[in-house]
Amino acid sequence: MLWNASVLRGFEIEATDGQIGTVDDLLFDDQSWQLRWVVVHTGMWLFGRKVLLPLSALGKPNGDAHNFTVKRTKQQVQDSPDIFTDLPVSRQLEARVYQHYDWNPYWQTGFAEIANRVCTPVYMEPQQVTGATEPDVGDPHLRSAMAMVGYHIEAQGGAIGHAEDFIIDDEGWHIRYVVIDTKNWLPGKHVVISPQMIRDMDWIGHSIYLHADVAKIKASPPYDPDMIDNCAFRKLFHKHFGLPEPADKRPHG
């Protein structure tokens, strides 16, 4: 099923013995567009502390109850490693979270095939992780979905608007589309783009650059929230931009 990131934000996270907080953000890899983590705001329970939970460990979102479930206790969550959301999340911190919950990390299970990369150092002190001492470094490819809202979208031939939302597929937890508010270019109209259409991203300038030209996007299928999970829309969209269709076996209307 497809979900808007803006809808999932605020969903409650239910442990086996009660609520632990609400979804505050979603962190994804900017090369694969695979979601890795949900940032949970614990509210008054842990005095505003934020914790990380891997998407692969959560149940499917419940649209009626507006929640996720996780098969862990509140005490286990309370004892989990602290995170600093203003700094890049390091692979070492990710490993400590997985160790704490006795889960297999995504890089060992194939949940997301992310290659090893050179990362920008954040923490200078070495940390002991899985029996080895390594510098604790931040992963520059781990991005906040909520922080990207408002990024300028530049097609070939000019600006088309800004990123307003992300559409997420809960089968495998990846970003399927980016919703674009076209503002003054196409007043009142929204369009979607696929991550496959992105040729470059300027994280400092808060801009996303596309392969597609302005005319092609203007003639693209209009965004209809009620039709976005429809097979006919998916086929029309991918045919229009010459993109391969997502390889899934889910039934679509």
Whether residues 193 and 137 share a domain: the answer is no
Residue 1 falls within a domain, yes or no?
A: no
Higher per-residue confidence, 234 vs 88: 234
**Domain presence at residue 247:** no
In a domain, 246, yes or no: no
Instruction: Decide which of 143, 161, 189 is a domain's last residue.
Output: 143
Provide the 10 A C-beta neighbour count for residue 116.
Answer: 7
In the numeric block, the tokens 């150092």 are attached to 121
CA 9 from chain centre, in angstroms, equals 11
54 and 132 within one domain: yes
Boundaries of domain holding 69: 7-143
Buried b (16+ CB within 10 A) or exposed e, 198-223: beeeeeeeebbebebebebbeebbeb
Q: How many helices (H) and strands (E) does the chain have?
A: 7, 15
Looking at the domain assignment, is residue 120 inside a domain? yes
**Same domain membership, residue 139 and residue 23:** yes
The answer to whether position 159 is within a domain reads yes
The domain boundary residue, chosen from 143, 159, 179: 143
Record the tokens describing residue 160, joined without a space. 């088309």
- Mark which of 126, 143, 160 sits at the end of a domain: 143
> How confident is the model at residue 199, as a pLDDT?
94
User: Averaged over 153-175, what is the pLDDT?
Assistant: 93
2 within some domain: no
Shared domain check, 57 and 169: no
70: confidence class by pLDDT, cuts 50, 70, 90: confident
The CATH number linked to 170 is: 2.30.30.240
Q: Indicate the number of domains in the chain.
A: 2
Q: Indicate if 122 and 203 belong to the same structural domain.
A: no
pLDDT digits 0-9 by tens, 15-52? 899 999 999 999 898 889 999 888 888 887 777 778 88
- What average pLDDT does this structure show over 94-105? 58
**DSSP secondary structure, 98-149, as one string:** HHHHT---HHHHTSS--------EEEEEEEEETTEEEEEEB-TTEEEHHHHT
Among 40-49, 130-139, 170-179, 226-235, where is mean pLDDT lowest? 130-139
- Answer yes or no: is 209 within a domain: yes
Same-domain pairing of 135 and 223: no
One domain for residues 108 and 222 = no
Tens of pLDDT, residues 183-198? 877 777 889 999 999 9
